[in-house]
Structure 1
């Protein structure tokens, strides 16, 4: 166990941030998965802006890397274009 007050506080902060980041990353993964599973083009086109917003926000807050967000958006756009 940590001995310094500052290190005890740092442990508390790190745990709180970890849980916060984990929640938003999981939410993002679920949104991406739901869009990938969609077979209806109109529904996918309607969902895409929300997923894009989530990805951009997480990249801005350094929960995911900006290149990962860009890659996911690109793949999802290609998936939507491929739908009939």
Structure 2
């Protein structure tokens, strides 16, 4: 348990940052998985710039 106001604030900030990072990493991982599973070259070429921008 935090003893100082600054450490309590830091805990709140880290929690919010962690939630955002989890969302970004999860969606990026799913998009990469979708891209790898595509069989059509045209579809993959359309999706590639979107996935690269997430990385």
**Corresponding residue for residue 21 of structure 2:** 21
| Residue 8 in structure 1 maps to residue 11 in structure 2 | no
Structure of higher CA gyration radius: 2
**Corresponding residue for residue 38 of structure 1:** 38
Instruction: Provide the TM-score with structure 2 as the length reference.
Output: 0.96
> RMSD value over aligned CA atoms?
0.5
- Which ranges of 4 or more aligned residues in structure 1 deviate by more than 6 Å? none
For structure 1, the 5+ residue unaligned runs are: 56-84
The count of residues paired between Structure 1 and Structure 2 equals 55
Question: 2:11 & 2:53 partners in 1: Cα distance?
Answer: 31
> Residue by residue, what CA displacement relative to the aligned partner does 1:20-47 show, whole Å, maximum 9, x if unpaired?
0010010100010000010111000000
Question: 1:22 & 1:11 partners in 2: Cα distance?
Answer: 16
